[in-house]
Amino acid sequence: MPKIGNSNFVNQKINENNIYIKKKFGQNFLVDQNVLSEIINKSEITKEDLVIEIGPGLGSLTERLCISAGFVLAYEIDSDLIPILKDNLKEFDNYLIINKDILDVDINKDINEYKKNYKNIYLVANLPYYITTPIILGLLSKTKEIKRYVMMMQEEVADRICGKPKTKDYNALSLAIQYRATSQKLFKVSRNVFIPSPNVDSAVIRLDLYDEEPYKAIDEELYFEFIRLAFSQRRKTLINNLSNKYEKQFILKMLNNFNIKENIRAEELDLKTFVDFTNYIKENYNE
Ligand code: SAM
């Protein structure tokens, strides 16, 4: 029976160990066994899988991962939590806690060291919300080894990551992530199931990495730069945003080439069109 993810257990540990909860590390501990079960179900992990966790905290999710996965590699920045975490997980031997900032980790090196006996590599985490975007974009750009990501984050960010064209949530982040993976919002999580409770609601999303991206930018760096430029000021037309870098004549020619109206806004265009634009620029633009 999992024991960590409930409010009595977490409160007791906080009191016993005099834990000072660090807001600057986004520490909100999940204390709901149903939410934890749902995260595990949707992750579809088995004993054949290596799971990476970011921010194990007091171990509510780590405990569940140790039960379901072959091995768990968990990165925790807060060294004060580590002895308590290890004590909470003392009945397991299929995990390793690495006391590092996830943003500084050489993830491929660690994966190579631990992947040998495992079939798939997945990431399952209740993320520190203050660095959700750099974590995801960083990992997606650094490694193709992690095939599935199931992550809890602030609901607003979840909506952006899963945003579709012509909706208010669709932006450069949607396009950056959907370039590499399918994205799916799984379910909403109330702020009331955390200690302490954050001042935003949360959601769990799932990303499944493409083996081969369906639309491929010849120059990926240019694609990532281009989507940021295209959405730099949301209320402006695409031409206005792009003219910070490209001559208007060139942009008009490009829009014309793809039969797209001149007053289009970035949020009306799908991923394929953004990739087409980037490839057009790569082939036709001379700086
Ligand atoms: N997984 C636990 C749970 O669900 O109860 C804790 C989740 S809490 C939202 C985020 C965790 O990430 C905290 O334990 C925090 O210390 C850790 N953290 C914050 N910044 C980090 C970083 N840069 N690298 C690794 N861990 C980090």
Give how far Cα 58 sits from Cα of 44, 101, 197, 209, 246, Å. Answer: 23, 16, 15, 29, 50
Task: Name the residue with tokens 């057009």.
Answer: 280
Q: Classify domain 220-284 at the CATH topology level.
A: Helicase, Ruva Protein; domain 3 (1.10.8)
**pLDDT (0 to 100) of residue 115:** 96
Confidence at residue 26, expressed as pLDDT on a 0 to 100 scale: 98
Is the CB of residue 103 below 6 angstroms from any atom belonging to ligand 1? yes
Give residue 118's pLDDT.
98
Longest Cα–Cα distance of the chain, Å, equals: 68
Rg of the chain on CA atoms, in Å: 21
Ligand 1 centroid, distance to 175 Cα (angstroms)? 26
Q: Which residue type sits at 211?
A: D
The predicted-structure confidence for 246-285, as pLDDT tens digits, reads as follows 999 999 999 999 999 999 999 999 999 999 999 999 999 9
The Å distance, Cα 182 to ligand 1 centre, comes to 25
Structure token digits, residue 106: 């050489």
Residue 224 backbone dihedrals phi, psi, to 5 degrees:
-65, -35
Which of 11, 25, 60, 200 maximizes ligand 1 atoms within 8 Å of its Cβ, making it the mutation to test the pocket? 25
Are 183 and 157 a contacting pair, CB within 8 Å?
no
DSSP-derived secondary structure for 144-167: S---EEEEEEEHHHHHHHT--TTS
7-209: CATH topology is Rossmann fold (3.40.50)
Query: Is there an atom of ligand 1 within 6 Å of 278 CB?
Result: no
Which residue's CA is minimally distant from atom 17 of ligand 1?
55
- The H or E element that residue 284 is part of is helix 271-284
Helix (H) or strand (E) holding 275: helix 271-284
| The predicted structure's pLDDT at residue 287 | 73
* 27 Cα–ligand 1 center, Å: 6
* Domain residue extents for the chain: 7-209, 220-284
Residue 132 alpha carbon to ligand 1 centre in Å: 11
Instruction: Please tell me the residue having the least CA distance from ligand 1 atom 5.
Output: 29
**Below-50 pLDDT ranges, the chain:** none
Residue 51's DSSP bridge partners are 72, 122
Q: Is 25 in the pocket of ligand 1 (CB under 6 A)?
A: yes
**Distance, CA 35 to ligand 1 centroid (Å)?**
17
Q: Apex CA 211: angle with CA 115 and CA 117, to 5°?
A: 15
- Predicted pLDDT at 286: 83
Whole-number pLDDT of residue 74: 98
Q: Is 61's C-beta closer than 6 angstroms to any atom of ligand 1?
A: yes
